[in-house]
Structures are given as structure tokens and as C-alpha cells.
Amino acid sequence: MKVTISDVARLAGVSTATVSHTINNTRYVSGDTKKKVYHAIDQLGYTPDASARSFRTGKKKTIGFIVPDISNKFFGTIIESAENYLSAQGYHLIIANTKENMEREETNLRLLTAGLVDGLLIASTMDDFQRLDALIPAGFPVVLVDRTFGTQKYSSVSVSNFQPIYRSVCRLAARGKRRIGIIGGLPRLSTTKERIAAYRAAAADCGLVQDESLILYGDSMENSAPPCLDRLLERGCDSIVVCQGLMASVTIAYLRGKGIQPHRDLDLVSFVDYDTHAYEFYYDQVDRIIQPVEELGRAAGEQILFQVERPEMPLLERVLTSAYRPFPEAGESESA
Amino acid sequence: MKVTISDVARLAGVSTATVSHTINNTRYVSGDTKKKVYHAIDQLGYTPDASARSFRTGKKKTIGFIVPDISNKFFGTIIESAENYLSAQGYHLIIANTKENMEREETNLRLLTAGLVDGLLIASTMDDFQRLDALIPAGFPVVLVDRTFGTQKYSSVSVSNFQPIYRSVCRLAARGKRRIGIIGGLPRLSTTKERIAAYRAAAADCGLVQDESLILYGDSMENSAPPCLDRLLERGCDSIVVCQGLMASVTIAYLRGKGIQPHRDLDLVSFVDYDTHAYEFYYDQVDRIIQPVEELGRAAGEQILFQVERPEMPLLERVLTSAYRPFPEAGESESA
DNA sequence: GTGAAAGCGCTAACAC
DNA sequence: GTGTTAGCGCTTTCAC
């Protein structure tokens, strides 16, 4: 049978209050009493029941994370990094996967806000902020991760998307490229919008052709890049910007399969969702935009605990910066 | 303020029992009463408190998953697939990441078995079954995932490792390869042990040189393959088997960087942790061992719910089979 | 320095 | 067909 705090109290010859205070360090307990309590705990093999505790205190010591795609290494790494921080602070992480499906996100929001978690990290797939907001109880701690909305209602942690795209397009133009194609992610996402806006701005500023047919959208899943690539090649692009890591790695492989070599045959700018030595083997000869993925996860963890533990703290919109690493031309060195 | 079941009962003019039975469909309630109850719920915006409920019933509707590396796509996909099944059954998934660290696994076991979850999926990094077993309370529902121990104490879901390795080594031998190198994962894991055993058996059966220096171990993290590869090349291997997907993809990229082309220069057998069209671009010219990753996740989900919801069910050790897809020689067709 | 006891929100046995 | 109520295991106020 289950061992409860009263069993411990009885065996130790003290009250349940004392046992509770002893294990939680929440008021003074004499050394002698402590000893008796711990001894009883050992003898009975007592473990405090987490759900009774969270029921009583209202704190679950658990954060929920609504993600669009766990199997995507970008989110896998963010999750890892957030979990790492949260577990060090004594919190657990509940994962809910939406597969970029808005209904699934709604369901998960409803479930997770119903007393299951203390706060929520959301990398939302919603097109409409209202739709998201409507499901969040007033005052519920939320941090938007990676994907934001143009409102100040919740804290957010994201990555600057404008600058690296703008820079990379300018650089392509400077190299003499005139027909720069771009493959974005889902059009409804803030990340995609910002990236496409940066592309448009740079194209205009550099005096490039404004050809809307060079702007295509994938769905960030693995198989969405090749058809876009085929169309861009048809349309005579001399360079391509791929706005998302998974699609980018598929792009490189797909082009290689067609005998098209990056840099030699076609200039490529590619988002990279993680930064490791190993992946440099894939990404040579490609201009890379490297997102600070681990920092993003950690920052998300920090922010949500701020919200949860210090509700008086102001909202914070934190924007991390990606590194832009153009493939070095002869005589150039790397830049961040 | 928090709206409770009594608020609803009061407004609807019924008892809390009726409200509870109404929302849970747990005894007959007249249509009329139902209407009143739901109306009151809507008016007050009532949501049942999940932690009160699980405290009362003892069911958390939550499964824990202890994983060695969330950011590895192999586990990412297993998690996705398990979560998919579990959420459809009304369960949540708590993730704990160990980064292949045994102490972290111990900590997580202690935390998760203390009334937080109804059952536990474990892809253990332990070297010793006792060490794992000691932390699991008697009768606690557990399913071992991917990595097993030679005991019948818990249900398990894993992948057959022996046969595909054995077959692939034989095939290399048949192609005239004499010095076949192999890179395994962490030596303590069951998966690694089985794969290396299969390699040894096949090498012996095919009359190959038994050179222990051709057996190397990585740690399944990204950067562990290259040093192993360097050593195997030094030692004059004419073919290499890589026992883990992440290391395998790095292997291909690394060799390419050295100007070594699979098949033409060196035969390669490679575990692939997922099966998608996209990744075929990477894996052409390589003999692939494709693990049924999604099935593994789903099966893990099914098994743990069996344990949780039908404790009388017998233990089950389920072994899924990998597909072996040799790179087709001229005139050959694919095989599974 | 410690104890007694209320009560968190819900479910379910028992009663009618 | 519905109501009353005990009590899950814990924390915490109030009391001494």
C-alpha cells in the first residue's frame, strides 16, 4: 500500500506538520526531530505524492510546450535546451505536438491550461492571434517561442529574421546574381513573413527584378522543397534562398542528385537550424544563416519561469540574432 | 477567482455529484438536468481542475518518456509517434532527456515515479539492469523502448538488430570485401552489443579476417564518427558498417569531404533512423538498414497503455524488424 | 520547537 | 434520477 505522510508522522512520533516542514525546509525543526523523521522515511520508503502536493499548492512544477513538429531537429534542439534548463530548476516538461495543425493546437491549449501545467511555451502554428489568445485563460503564464504575433500581450523569445536575409540577398546581388529565388515556410507564420519581407526589401534596394513568381512557399516538412526547386529552376533563377533548415538540407541533396553543385552552378543561401561541426560537411559552398537554437530554448525556459514565479515581472520580447556565414570567397574571411 | 464544481452545482441548482456525473458520463442524468448543468458551465466558464481530478482518482493521464537524446531525430520521431498515439487516447507525454548520462536517468526515474505519471517509457542508457530496476517501484508500469536488457521483467518494444547486420556483412563479403570495419554506438547498450555480435558471427561464417581493431565504438553523438573513420581508413578497410543513423549521415558527409565516394571507393552499410523520400538523396550508393521508427513509437505507446489500463495483461516483448535495402547492383531489384 | 486541524476540488459510495 | 458527504495526501494557519 501507499505510504503517506501520516504513516511517517506516526512512526516518527511527530505530527504531519513536522514531517512536511522537515522535508520541505519550511520552518525550523530541531536536529533531533529531523533525524527521527528521516529515519522513519527511510524505513517506510516514503515518497511524497506529487499530485497531492500540486493539488494542494496549486503549483505543478511542470511547463507545457506546444510544438509544431517534434521530429524536426530545430524544435528537437529547442526542446532539449529548454528541458535542460527547466529540469535544473526542478520543473518537468510536457510536450504537445501539433504537426502544424491549428485544430490540434487548440485542443492542446485547452488541455494544458486546465490545471496541468504552470505555464506554457508555444511555438504557434496559428494564423490568427485572436484564435490563440481566446484559449488562454487570463493571467496564464505564456511565452511565445520562435513564432510571434505583432502584439505585446505575451512575452516572446524569437530570432531576428530580417537582417540575415536582407544581408544575404544584398551579397548575392553584389556577386552579380539577378534572379534570386526564395523558398519560405508556411505563409501564415511570422517567421516566414519577416523573411519574405526582408527579401523583398533587399531586392528592391539592390535594384533587382521584382518577380513575384520567384517567391515560393513550402510547409517546412521534408518533402516540400523539391517541387519548389523544380519551379525555381524552370524560371531561370541564378540563386536560391531557402528559409528553413530541413528544407535547406533536402535542397542541397536534391540539387546534388540533379548534378547541380552549389556555388559552382547555383548560389545557395540556407538557414541552418543548428550549429555543429558535423553539419559543416553538408553546408560547405553555401551561405549559411545559423540560428542560435540552443540559446532560444534556454531563453524560452528562463522566460517562462520568470512569468510563473514572478508574476509581477514585466513582459519581455527577446530577440536573438542569427549569425550570417557567407561561404568565403577567395581572400575573404568569415563574418558574424 | 477559480470556478469550481460547486459553483456550477449552485448555479444549475443541482448537486456536485450530478455535475460530476454529467461531465464524466458516469451515471444517468436526465436531458433536462444535463442542459442546466452545461448552461451553468458555459456561463461560468468552468473547466475541471486536472490536478484535483488526478489527485482524487489516482490517474494522471500522463506517461513519462525517458530518452537519451531528444535532439536526435531517431528519438524525436519515436517521441512524435508515441505522443501521437497517446494524445489520441487522452494521455499527455512528459519528456525527460538523459543525454546518455546514467545519473540523469536515475534522477528522472525518481522524479517521474513519484506520482507524476501513470507509466514510463524508457530508452535506457544504463549499463546495468539492476541499477534501473532498483528505482522502479514494484508494479509500476514500464515499457523498455529500443534498448532492452536480457530479462523478462518488463515489457519491451525494440528492433531486431542481428539479422540486418548479419545479412549486410555477408553481402559485402560476397562482393569480395575482406576488411570490413564497423562503428558501433555506446558499447554498454543492448543495441550495440547485438549489432557487434551479428558482425562477428557473419565475419566468422563468411571466412573473413577476424581483426578486432576493425571494431570501433562511437557515442552516437554527431562528432564521434570522424575519428573512428580516420582510424578505419588507416587500417585499410575496404568497407564500413555504421550502426547508428546520426553517425551514418555524418559519415557520408565526412567521406565526401575527403573525396571518398561511397560504393565507388568504399562500400558503406548504414543504419537509417527514418524513412523518407527526401533522405534517399543522401543515401544513394549506400546499403541501408531502415528501422521502423514510427512503428516503434506507436508500439511503445500501445504497450504502455496496456500496462497502465489492463494490469492483468501479460508482459510482452515485441521485436520489430528493420528493412535491409542494399544499394541495387546492375540487374538487381530492392529487397526487404 | 511542535501540533491540531481545515481544506484544496473532485469522485464515488451510499442513500433515497 | 439525484443528493449528501467522506476523503484522496498534502500544506499551512493558528495556537501553544
Q: Mean of the pLDDT values across residues A135-157? A: 93
Listed in sequence order, the DSSP H helices in A161-224 are: 162-174, 190-205
Residues sharing a CB contact under 8 Å with residue B237, sequence separation 6 or more, in sequence order: B179, B180, B181, B214, B266
Q: What is the nearest CA distance from A204 to chain B, expressed in angstroms?
A: 34
Is residue A222 predicted with pLDDT exceeding 80? no
Cell of A197: 519581407
Q: Which nucleotides of C are covered by protein (CB under 7 A)?
A: 1-13
Look at residues A170, A142, A173 and name the one whose alpha carbon lies nearest to residue A155. Answer: A142
Q: Quote the pLDDT of residue A123.
A: 98
Cell of A210: 521584382
Q: Is B225 on the interface with A (CB under 8 A)?
A: yes
Is residue A284 predicted with pLDDT exceeding 80? no
Phi-psi region of A32 (alpha: psi -120 to 50; beta: other; left: phi over 0): alpha
Instruction: Give the Å distances, CA to CA, from B81 to A60, A146, B124, B302, B309.
Output: 26, 23, 18, 11, 20
Q: Quote the pLDDT of residue B283.
A: 59
d(CA B33, C1' D10) / Å? 35
Asked if A50's CB is within 8 angstroms of B278's CB, the reply is: no
Q: Is B291 on the interface with A (CB under 8 A)?
A: no
Residue-range domains of chain B with CATH: 5-48 (1.10.260.40), 59-159+293-321 (3.40.50.2300), 162-290 (3.40.50.2300)
Q: Is A225 on the interface with B (CB under 8 A)?
A: yes
Work out the angle between the directed axes of helices B245-257 and B73-88 (0-180°, nearest 10): 150
Is residue A285 predicted with pLDDT exceeding 80? no
Mean pLDDT of chain A: 90
Closest residue (Cα, C1') to D2: B18
- Chain B residues lying within 8 Å of A250, measured CB to CB: 278, 281
d(CA B62, C1' D2) / Å? 32
Q: Quote the pLDDT of residue B282.
A: 58
Asked if B83's CB is within 8 angstroms of A254's CB, the reply is: no
Cell of B247: 553517425
Q: Quote the pLDDT of residue A157.
A: 97
Is residue A117 predicted with pLDDT exceeding 70? yes
pLDDT digit string, tens, across residues B41-88: 999 999 999 999 999 999 999 999 999 999 988 999 999 999 999 999
d(CA A35, C1' C7) / Å? 29
Residues sharing a CB contact under 8 Å with residue B244, sequence separation 6 or more, in sequence order: B74, B183, B184, B185, B218, B220, B271, B273
pLDDT digit string, tens, across residues B8-53: 999 999 999 999 999 999 999 999 999 999 999 999 999 999 999 9
Indicate the residue type of A300. Answer: A
Q: Mean of the pLDDT values across residues A258-270? A: 85
Q: Quote the pLDDT of residue A4.
A: 95
Q: Quote the pLDDT of residue B121.
A: 98
Residues sharing a CB contact under 8 Å with residue A150, sequence separation 6 or more, in sequence order: A129, A190
Q: Is A71 on the interface with B (CB under 8 A)?
A: yes
- Chain A residues lying within 8 Å of B71, measured CB to CB: 73, 76-77, 79-80, 274
Averages of pLDDT over each 10 residues, chain B, 336 residues: 91 95 94 94 94 94 95 93 96 95 95 92 97 93 95 93 92 92 94 94 90 89 84 92 86 82 86 61 75 95 94 90 78 47
pLDDT digit string, tens, across residues A186-197: 999 999 999 999
Instruction: Give the Å distances, CA to CA, from B6 to A57, A101, B47, B48.
Output: 20, 36, 12, 11
Task: Kindly identify which residue of chain A lies nearest to residue B75, measuring between CA atoms.
Answer: A71
pLDDT digit string, tens, across residues A69-111: 999 889 999 999 999 999 999 999 999 999 999 999 999 999 9
CB count, 10 Å around CB of A115?
20
Asked if A278's CB is within 8 angstroms of B49's CB, the reply is: no
Closest residue (Cα, C1') to C8: A56
Q: Is B277 on the interface with A (CB under 8 A)?
A: yes
Q: Quote the pLDDT of residue A274.
A: 67
Is residue A331 predicted with pLDDT exceeding 60? no
Q: Mean of the pLDDT values across residues A135-142? A: 92
Work out the angle between the directed axes of helices B31-44 and B5-12 (0-180°, nearest 10): 120
d(CA A14, C1' C5) / Å? 15
Instruction: Give the Å distances, CA to CA, from B70 to B66, B127, B149.
Output: 9, 20, 22
| % helix, strand, coil for chain A, step of 5 | 45, 15, 40
- Write out residues 20-59 of A within 8 Å (CB-CB) of B: 47-52, 54-55, 58
The number of CA neighbours under 13 Å toward the Cβ of B335 is: 12
Q: What is the nearest CA distance from A285 to chain B, expressed in angstroms?
A: 12
Beta strands in A15-102 (DSSP E): 62-67, 92-97
- Is the pTM of the predicted complex or chain greater than 0.85? yes
Residues sharing a CB contact under 8 Å with residue B272, sequence separation 6 or more, in sequence order: B245, B248, B279, B283, B288, B289, B290, B291
Task: Kindly identify which residue of chain A lies nearest to residue B60, measuring between CA atoms.
Answer: A51
- The nucleotide minimizing the C1' distance to residue B18's CA is D2
- The nucleotide minimizing the C1' distance to residue A30's CA is C1
